[in-house]
A and B are shown apart, each in its own frame.
Chain A
Amino acid sequence: MDIIEIIMGILKNPLVKSAIGAIGIITFLSLNVLFLTWLERKLIARVQIRYGPNRAGKFGLLQPIADGAKLITKEDIIPKKADKPVFILAPAVGFLFAVLPAVSIPLAGGLIVSDLNIGVLYIVAVASLSTIAIIMAGWGSNNKYTLLGGMRAVGQSLSYEIPLVLSIIGIIIFVGSLSMTEIVDAQKNIWFVFLQPIGFLVFFVAAIAEMGRIPFDLPESESELVAGFHTEYSGMRFALLLFAEYIHMVVAVALMVALFFGGWYLPVISTFISSMSGIVPVILEAGIFIVKMYIIIVILMWIRATLPRIKITQMIGIGWKVLIPIALLNILITSFVLVVLK
């Protein structure tokens, strides 16, 4: 037997396949996160008439690595009265539930680790579990500020999970499937952001709240709760929590691209790409996907650099009194239009 055939045989093994997928996902997300921490600091610095990191490497590009090295070599402090197992587990749990949804987000046609037939449901369900990590961190630290942060995180998650899911239902009605690949394929001609503008708005606001970014960064609002749920964390555990947060953002934005911005499809270019063969179209499609992601991420960073933080009562109010009714209305309109068109 040929060596290549043996390798192909090993690769076909589902266990090996999923291992490669896991490594691929974590590498992809980690690299993105490293770059994003740099990009965010640099962008916000420019908005704030500063320079941002510019010492380590060209344009400070090595800053994330320097930060990582610093955090790894830091002393690992566990507060004396902390709930030890919970405190130690929280960053790991947060990281896990941040990474898991990425499993069924397609980066390009066929470039997906597991194309579940309930993809959307799975992503939303797993992503919402990351709240558990925050409440674990908040409770386990045995600090009143972290506890308040954890409580806020739960409140936020409860009130924004619902509009987030409701805003996706419109799309699901359109496509008639929960599979991510099918949803993206349905946007070959027109993106859902144009068919579902209200749904998109609700999704956008709810997603920012889910990511916990300004103006919805209440669980860790530094001027109120010191650092919120990660007040007591230091060193690598802190890095992991922060990492999880960024991964959360990447995944949420990837979901947004896949659901509303046609995933890897671009109006004219996609027809060219589909005529090619081999590995080139996959790379090009992934490239389109990533560019779209970064455009949205830059907008999110822009929002962070511009807006103040809203307060907890306003946030709950917006979730229940504005977003949910709008999302429900959106579902109603979508269904009505579809019924009429049929």
Chain B
Amino acid sequence: MEAVIKKIKTRNPNEMIINIGPQHPSTHGVARLVTRLDGERAVKIEPVIGYLHRGIEKLAENRNYVQFLPITDRLDYVSSITNNMVYVQAVEEILGIDVPERAEYIRIIMLELQRLASHLLFVGTFGADVGAWTVLMYGFRERERILDLLEMVTGQRLLYTYIWFGGVRYDLPEGFVEQCRKTVDALPSYFDDYEEYFYNNEVFLGRCRGIGILKKKDAINMGVTGPNLRACGVEYDIRKIDPYSIYDRFDFKVCTQKEGDTLARFNVRMAEMRESVKIIQQALDNLPEGDYKANTPKFLKPPQGEVYSRVESPRGELAVHLISDGVNRNPYRLKIRSPAFCNLSAFPAFAEGDIIPDVIVNFASIDIVLGEIDR
């Protein structure tokens, strides 16, 4: 902690060091930005991470494969199904488990519902950070409907542990398909409402347009992924370029923007929500009957091997590098590549030199979740 202060210290009497976070209304969890201010201008920003460190990667080495699955929920707690997916996918690949058709469809539906829930949370909190608290409530209202659906299936509202080795944990309950269709069909009209609110609002546009421009080259060099990268004009979506599960069967487009500013990052997420709705609708139309889970042993003991699995989480490329030594029942090593970590590391590059309100809006626009960064 002191090392950061020392690093950022200044002898200039016009500047002061201010701690934005870990307890601050708009750090979305417990991010800490040690910032050197010249008046209102943030001359230097140094993100400090580790406040939420729980040693998840080490925990993986001391738990067996099944025991670790619920812990993956705690990574990115805003989209825990995605975390289940990336881990389960890695284990399945190393074990060579085949997933039944129905389970694949259910996975897609749940993953996309999770993406919607995550992006709606982003829209809401972004509104709050710009100062429009009403939008926060609206974002939460729609998210609530999706959480209802997820609760219907999993019985949980935040940490689902739903995707299981060889399928999903429970089959879809009765009436889910109808209710899901109803909810999802209604969503685009709410998105229209948001767009009407945001894009006709000169105050909002003035806050976001041309703020925090991340250059395409920098974004690629710093490993930025997800909506933040797509906002710079790079058409990079794991669902398209390296389709996992059965994403290659669905018709959706990768949403990109050219500008790379805060507004572009916001736009990409708004557009992605509509694509998610499309994917869910297609999955519901084609949902086959059958098993929801393959017959997998209770205790998993993968053979020796090494696998790298990646998915497109709402925040970017989420990947797991799993090494099994073939002797123990726990992973030999599990490395998690979290998108929010890379996105945050690129943050100072485009936020430095902006004034505090812009820094806050920039910070909101990269949509980080600390559970994933600190692990």
Residues of B within 8 A of A (CB): 16, 18, 24-26, 37, 39-40, 127-134, 136-138, 141, 201, 203-204, 206-207, 355-358, 360
Contacts and interface: CB of A to CB of B under 8 A. Distances in A.
Nearest to B127: A308
A308 B198 CA distance: 10
A312 B360 CA distance: 13
A223 B203 contact: no
Contacts, number: 78
B25 A226 contact: yes
A224 interface: yes
Interface string A140-167: 0000110010011000000000000000
Given A224-B357, A313-B355, A308 B130 contact: yes
A308 B201 contact: yes
A327 to B, nearest CB: 21
18 contacts: A145-B18, A148-B18, A151-B39, A152-B40, A214-B131, A221-B357, A223-B130, A223-B360, A307-B203, A308-B130, A308-B131, A309-B203, A309-B207, A310-B206, A311-B207, A312-B355, A312-B356, A314-B206
A72 interface: no
Given A50-B137, A312-B355, 17 more contacts: A47-B134, A48-B136, A148-B356, A151-B39, A214-B131, A215-B203, A223-B128, A223-B130, A225-B356, A305-B133, A307-B201, A309-B207, A310-B206, A311-B207, A311-B355, A312-B40, A312-B357
A49 B137 contact: yes
A67 interface: no
Contacts of A117: none
Shortest 3 CB-CB distances between A and B: which pairs?
Answer: A309-B131, A311-B357, A48-B137
Contacts of A148: 18, 37, 40, 356
Q: Which of A47, A148, A222, A224 has the most CB of B within 10 A?
A: A224
A305 B134 contact: yes
Interface string A89-104: 0000000000000000
A306 B360 contact: no
Contacts of B16: 144
A224 B26 contact: yes
B356 A308 contact: no
A310 B207 contact: yes
Nearest to B40: A312
A163 to B, nearest CB: 19
Given A308-B132, A312-B355, A223 B207 contact: no
A83 B132 CA distance: 34
Contacts of A49: 137-138, 141
B133 A48 contact: yes
A189 B178 CA distance: 63
Interface residues of A, number: 29
B250 to A, nearest CB: 33
Contacts of A50: 137
A203 B39 CA distance: 29
Contacts of B131: 214-215, 217, 221, 223, 307-309
Q: Which of B129, B206, B357 has the most CB of A within 10 A?
A: B357
A30 B134 CA distance: 28
Contacts of B355: 311-313
B358 A311 contact: yes
Nearest to A218: B357
Given A148-B356, A307-B132, A223 B25 contact: yes
Nearest to B39: A151
Contacts of B358: 311
Given A215-B131, A308-B204, A311-B358, A226 B141 contact: no
Nearest to B201: A308
Contacts of A225: 356
Nearest to A309: B131
Q: Which of A145, A214, A308, A310 has the most CB of B within 10 A?
A: A308
A252 B19 CA distance: 36
Nearest to B198: A308
Nearest to B141: A49
Contacts of B207: 308-311
Contacts of B40: 148, 152, 312
Contacts of B18: 144-145, 148
Interface in A288-342: 305-314
B356 A224 contact: yes
A228 to B, nearest CB: 11
A44 B133 CA distance: 10
Contacts of A47: 134
Nearest to B136: A48
Contacts of B127: 308
Q: Which of A221, A309, A313 has the most CB of B within 10 A?
A: A309
Contacts of B138: 48-49
B133 A226 contact: no
Interface in A105-140: none
Contacts of B201: 307-308
Q: Which of B130, B134, B136, B207 has the most CB of A within 10 A?
A: B134
A224 B207 CA distance: 13
A48 B26 contact: no
Contacts of A224: 26, 356-357, 360
Contacts of A44: 133-134
Contacts of A217: 131
A144 B37 CA distance: 10
B38 to A, nearest CB: 12
